[in-house]
Amino acid sequence: MNGGYEYICMTQFNPMRFKFTCQIFLCLLTLVFSNCFSLIAMAQKKELSGDLIIFHAGSLSVPIKDISAEFNKLYPKVRILAESAGSVASARKITDLDRPCDIMASSDYGVIDAMLIPRFADWNLKFASNEMTVVYSGNSRYASEINERNWYETLMKPEVFLGRADPNSDPCGYRTVMALQLAEQYYKKPGMSRNILSKNQEFIRPKEVDMVALLESGSIDYCFLYRSVAIQHKLRFISFPEQVNLKNPDFAKLYASAKVEVNGNKPGEKQQITGEPMIYSVTILRNAPNKPVAEAFLTFLLSKNQGIKILEKDGQPSVVPMSCANYDKLPALLRPFAKQK
């Protein structure tokens, strides 16, 4: 009996057939798991719903609108409630007014670090850059004459009306002051910064994108704005040298020589802000009402062929991935978009 059993086993076992059978089994297993993951993803798309509240810098208005439209194609049951303001003003809606918020996106990463961490948020993820420019329209006085060599002379003319953002509510406001301090050094024009900043105080606005309406109405001739906003609104702009525009990390030490005093977190309190390269950042609030949707939205925003592609089209270069001080506190979905410090 034993000899016969051994003979049958030896004659029936075929190594090649066994290998082929295993390959088929693995393929079927892969197909099953693939279908399972697809079903999970489809289920997640169906499950993601509700309101998503985003407070964001005014200069992100166009990209957030464009990104939200694409996100809603994937998750149609999500209602995105995006509200723009100066980054400091946006943070104060959370810290002072106790308003519910899922995502805060700032034009200055320092705002989230200083105002939201650690009480209201655990981490701060950097994602884009920008630069300061002088923006104008075809109807601005001296529009055909202004250039990168004479812009400061043009702005100081008495008949020219100038607008800028409020340094106490918007990073574009204090970056305007910093850029002018740096320009004064670069062009060796003592008093230039003070002379320009003292003009047209009536045209200081809470956020930088308010300048667009003033330009389009002809109320002002020029304003200090981010390059991305000029591109998004098809406005003309004068580029500053890199020693002035607050964009290039290679000039970080030079930028640090510019300092601005603004209102602090408490009434009557003042704080000094030091110049540095322009970096936008984003966080999810600790008590976010809809965290699953917030994580999905930021995953979309930070993905190279999705949100980042839209940002770059709108004039804001990506800096993803950059170091994150609280990397270990990032949601797992967002860790691929940052580096450990």
> Residue 25 pLDDT more than 70?
no
Residue 338 and residue 330 in contact, taking contact as beta carbons nearer than 8 Å: yes
Cα–Cα distance measured from residue 275 to residue 150, given in angstroms and rounded to the nearest whole number: 24
What whole-number distance in Å separates Cα of residue 326 and Cα of residue 340? 8
Please say if the pLDDT value at position 310 is more than 60.
yes
Q: Is the peptide bond before 158 cis (omega within 30 degrees of 0)?
A: no
What is the pLDDT at residue 249? Answer: 92
Mean pLDDT confidence for 307-316: 96
Report whether pLDDT(11) > 50: no
Assess contact for 286 and 120: CB atoms under 8 A. Answer: yes
Question: How would residue 265 be classed by pLDDT, with cut points 50, 70 and 90?
Answer: confident
| CB neighbours of residue 131 within 10 Å | 23
Distance separating alpha carbons of residues 75 and 61, to the nearest angstrom = 20
At 268 the pLDDT is 80
**Are the C-beta atoms of 78 and 71 separated by less than 8 Å?**
yes
Comparison of pLDDT for 40 and 268, the residue scoring more? 268
Give me the amino acid identity at 185. Answer: Q
Residue 58 is predicted with a pLDDT of 92
Q: Is the confidence at residue 105, as pLDDT, over 90?
A: yes
Between residues 45 and 227, which one has the greater pLDDT?
227
Whether pLDDT at 10 is above 80: no
Q: pLDDT tens digit string along 144-199?
A: 999 999 999 999 999 999 999 999 989 999 999 999 999 999 999 999 999 999 99
> Is the pLDDT reported for residue 37 higher than 90?
no
Calculate ∠ Cα 272-273-278, nearest 5°: 180
Which residues in 102-128 are b (16+ Cβ under 10 Å) and which e?
Answer: bbbbbbbbbbbbebbbeebbbbbbbbb
Q: How far, in whole angstroms, is CA 35 from its chain's centroid?
A: 35
Verify cis geometry, omega within 30 degrees of 0, for the bond prior to 292: no
Instruction: Flag whether pLDDT at 34 surpasses 50.
Output: no
Please give the share of the chain, as a percent, with pLDDT higher than 90: 82
pLDDT of residue 159: 97
Mean pLDDT of all residues belonging to the chain: 89
98: left (phi over 0), alpha (psi -120 to 50) or beta: left
246: left (phi over 0), alpha (psi -120 to 50) or beta: left
H helices present in 198-320, as ranges: 210-217, 227-232, 252-255, 291-302, 307-313
In the predicted structure, residue 9 carries a pLDDT above the cut 70:
no
CA dihedral 282, 62, 129, 117 (to 10 degrees): -20
pLDDT at residue 15, as a whole number: 52
